[in-house]
Amino acid sequence: MRAFRDAVEAGDMDAAVALLAEDVVFTSPVAFKPYAGKAVTGAVLREVAQVFEDFRYVREIGSPDGRDHALVFTARVDGRELTGCDFLRLNEDGLIEDFMVMVRPLSAAQALARAMGARFENIARHAGA
């Protein structure tokens, strides 16, 4: 999904959040339960954009006209290199309805969990929870 990739790479989180469906479901690599809704998913995206260092997409998998896309990325969190993938599923309107993230290795996922856990109050406040 080129529009989402372009927005994230430009650091334009408003544009990235605009591509989310109202009923998007976000599955985090470090949380047990998925998050439902555009407000909380947008809040998570805004916070993780501040946590990731040297974030860049390195590969895009999926056909331009398909509903399923995978965006492979690299970044650092607390000095740990990580590789991850954003799995995106679009609804019939072309908005992201399902957003799942996976990261590796475990030590980087643990660093991400700590960093995002420290931002949970910001996420809840911005999500209106």
Residue 45 has a pLDDT of: 94
Which stretches does DSSP call E strand in 18-113? 20-27, 35-36, 53-61, 68-77, 80-90, 96-104
pLDDT of residue 49: 93
Instruction: Decide which of 32 and 15 is more confident.
Output: 15
In order of their start, the domains of the chain are 2-127 (3.10.450.50)
- Say whether pLDDT at 129 is over 70: no
pLDDT of residue 121: 77
- The single residue listed with the structure tokens 């990580």 is 82
Q: Give pLDDT, residue 125.
A: 73
- Distance (Å) of CA 44 to CA 28, 61, 106, 110: 9, 23, 20, 17
